Each structure stands twice: as structure tokens, then as C-alpha cells.
């Protein structure tokens, strides 16, 4: 079963743009290469989302996975 990516969920919620997700992934790949820093943490650090936004998206991600979506 394919896992819905957190960036996709945040875009769907209207919290972040596709461009911001791409930028956060770039930071993750370049600044945090070899570390276990998660994309959501990076988006919070960059000021793109709040911790509440991330928690809501993670909850939705878990619900989607449990319901087989």
C-alpha cells in the first residue's frame, strides 16, 4: 500500500505550496544529508508550517493508512 506523503497532505490542506515543499526537500537533501531530520521538522524550522499543521497532517496520514487509502 502506498503511503501518502506528508507534503501532499499539507498541500491538500492548503497549508503549504508545492514550491515550499520542494524547497524544504532541497534543504533536507543538502543541509541535512545523512541525518534523520524529517521533512515536517524542516518545514517548521523554515516557518512554512506550524507544529499544529504538522500534527493535523500526520493524523490524517495515519487515518489514510489505516483505512487503506
pLDDT number for residue 50: 97
Closest CA to 56 of 36, 38, 40: 40
pTM for the structure as a whole: 0.83
Q: Do residues 58 and 41 make contact, with C-beta atoms less than 8 angstroms apart?
A: no
Three-class secondary structure of residue 46 per DSSP: coil
Per-residue DSSP letter, 38: -
- Higher-confidence residue of 14 and 1: namely 14
The domain locations on the chain are 6-66
| Per-residue pLDDT reduced to its tens digit, 31-67 | 877 788 899 999 999 999 999 999 999 999 988 777 7
* DSSP per residue, 12-37: HTTSS-HHHHHHHHHHHHHTSTTS--
pLDDT number for residue 68: 65
Amino acid at each position: 500500500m502506498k503511503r501518502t506523503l506528508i507534503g501532499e497532505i499539507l498541500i491538500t490542506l492548503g497549508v503549504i505550496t508545492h514550491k515550499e515543499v520542494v524547497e524544504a526537500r532541497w534543504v533536507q537533501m543538502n543541509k541535512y544529508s545523512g541525518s534523520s531530520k524529517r521533512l515536517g521538522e524542516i518545514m517548521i524550522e523554515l516557518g512554512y508550517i506550524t507544529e499544529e499543521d504538522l500534527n493535523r497532517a500526520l493524523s490524517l496520514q495515519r487515518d489514510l493508512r489505516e483505512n487503506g487509502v
